[in-house]
A and B are shown apart, each in its own frame.
Chain A
Amino acid sequence: MTELDAGLALVPPRRLLSDHIDAFFDLHPGDWPLVTDDDVVGRQLPIADRLRDPRTTVVAGPAAGEAPGVPGGRWTPAPGRRGHDGDAEPSGELLFRSGGRWRIGSGEHAEPLLAPFAGTVHDVRPGIGLRLRSEAQGLLGVEGLGGPTAGRLAIVTGPDGEVRAPQVDVSAAGAILVAGQRIDAEALTRARAVGVRGIVVAALGIKERRDFLASERRGRAAIHGLPPFAILILDGAAGRPIASPLMEVLRALEGRSVAIVADPPCLVVDDADVELPRPPADLVWVRSGPLVGAEGRWAGLAGPRRFAGGVLLEAGFVRFGDRPPIAVPLGDLERFV
Chain B
Amino acid sequence: MTGIPRAILAVDAGAATTAVAILGRPADRWRLMGSLVGPAPASPDDLAAILVGRIRAADPGLAAAIGLEPDAIGDLPRLEARSAPPVTLGVLAASRRAVGLLHGVAQRTSWRVVAASPESHDPREMTDLALRPEVGAILVGATEPPGPDERAAIDDVAGLVAAVLRRRPDLRAVVAGPIATRRAWADALGDDAEQAAGRILEAPPLGPRSGPDETLREILEGLLPGAMDTRHTAMRSLASLADVLDRRIELVDIGLEGGLRAVAGPGVADEGPTVEGVRSAGGALVPLDPDEAAVEEVLAWTTGSLDRHRMGDRLRDLRSRPWADATGEGARLRLAAARAAMTRLVDVTPDLSALPAPDLTLMAGGAFAAAPGGSVVLAVADVVRRTGATQVALDHARLLGPLGTIDDPDERRDIVADLADDLLSPLGSLVIAAGMPPRLRGRAATGTITLDPEDGTEAIATTARRELASGELAILDLAPGERANATLVFRDSARIGRRARRFSVSVSGGLAGVIVDLRDVPLRLPDRRDRRRAALATWGEQVWPGDER
Contacts and interface: CB of A to CB of B under 8 A. Distances in A.
Contacts of A166: none
Contacts of A70: 166, 190
> A interface, how many residues as a size bin?
35 or more
B184 A99 contact: yes
Interface stretch (B77-85, B119-127, B215-223): B119-127
Contact of B124 (A54, A205, A206, A306): A54
A98 B36 CA distance: 58
B135 to A, nearest CB: 10
Given A287-B324, A331-B324, A10 B39 contact: yes
A3 B36 CA distance: 16
Contacts of B162: 96
Contact of A96 (B40, B47, B163, B370): B163
A142 B162 CA distance: 36
Interface stretch (A37-45, A114-122, A310-318): A310-318
Interface stretch (B239-247, B309-317, B382-390): B309-317
B456 interface: no
Given A97-B184, A206-B312, A236-B317, A127 B50 contact: no
B163 A308 contact: no
A287 B122 contact: no
Given A29-B127, A288-B321, A314-B38, A237 B312 contact: yes
B325 A288 contact: yes
Contact of A309 (B37, B124, B332): B332
A11 B309 CA distance: 29
Interface in A18-51: 24, 28-30
B187 interface: yes
Contacts of B168: 128
A309 B544 contact: yes
Interface in B290-349: 309-310, 312-314, 316-317, 320-321, 323-332
**Main SS of the interface on chain A?**
mixed
B43 A9 contact: yes
Nearest to A308: B328
Interface in A83-97: 95-97
A289 B330 contact: yes
A311 B371 contact: yes
Contacts of A332: 324-327
Interface in B151-171: 155-156, 158-160, 162-164, 166-168
Given A10-B50, A71-B163, A309 B321 contact: no
Given A12-B323, A237-B312, A329-B326, A96 B127 contact: yes
A238 interface: yes
Interface in A64-94: 68, 70-72
B549 A307 contact: yes
Residue of A9, A207, A331 ringed by the most chain B CB atoms within 10 A: A331
Contacts of A154: none
Interface string A112-153: 000000000000010111000000000000100000000000
B271 to A, nearest CB: 41
Contact of A314 (B36, B317, B320, B549): B36
A303 B51 CA distance: 10
B39 A330 contact: yes
Given A105-B124, A329-B327, A10 B42 contact: yes
Contacts of A308: 327-328, 331, 547, 549
B334 to A, nearest CB: 9
Contacts of A10: 38-39, 42, 46-47, 50
A163 interface: no
A313 B372 CA distance: 11
A7 interface: yes
Interface in B492-549: 544-547, 549
B163 to A, nearest CB: 4
Contacts of B155: 98-99
B309 A207 contact: yes
**Main SS of the interface on chain B?**
helix
A289 B317 CA distance: 12
Given A97-B187, A308-B549, A128 B327 contact: no
A303 B34 CA distance: 13
Contacts of A309: 327-332, 372, 544-545, 547
B36 to A, nearest CB: 7
B49 interface: yes
B321 A287 contact: yes
Contacts of B53: 3
B325 A103 contact: no
Contacts of A30: 124
A71 B188 contact: yes
B167 A72 contact: yes
Contacts of A63: none
B131 interface: yes
B3 interface: no
Contacts of B50: 6-7, 10, 301
A132 to B, nearest CB: 15
A56 interface: yes
Contacts of A3: 53
A223 interface: no
Given A55-B124, A205-B309, A313 B370 contact: yes
Contacts of A96: 123, 127, 156, 159-160, 162-163, 184, 188
A288 B317 contact: yes
B309 A98 contact: no
Contacts of A290: 328
B270 interface: no
Interface string A276-310: 00000000000111100000000001010111111
Contacts of B332: 309
A313 B38 contact: no
Contact of A105 (B38, B127, B158): B127
B198 interface: no
B410 interface: no
A1 interface: yes
B34 to A, nearest CB: 11
B71 to A, nearest CB: 11
B438 interface: no
Nearest to A14: B321
A310 B544 CA distance: 7
Given A71-B167, A236-B316, A29 B131 contact: yes
Contacts of A314: 36-38
A91 B98 CA distance: 33
Contacts of B544: 309-310
B148 interface: no
A153 B54 CA distance: 49
B309 A71 contact: no
A266 B4 CA distance: 50
Contacts of A56: 122-125
Given A97-B163, A309-B332, 15 more contacts: A1-B46, A12-B39, A96-B156, A97-B159, A99-B155, A127-B128, A129-B133, A207-B312, A288-B325, A289-B324, A308-B328, A309-B329, A309-B330, A309-B372, A312-B370
6 contacts: A12-B321, A29-B128, A207-B312, A289-B327, A330-B38, A332-B326
Name the 3 nearest CB pairs between A and B, nearest first.
A71-B163, A310-B545, A308-B328
Interface of B: 36-43, 46-47, 49-50, 53-54, 122-125, 127-128, 131-133, 155-156, 158-160, 162-164, 166-168, 184, 187-188, 190, 309-310, 312-314, 316-317, 320-321, 323-332, 370-372, 544-547, 549
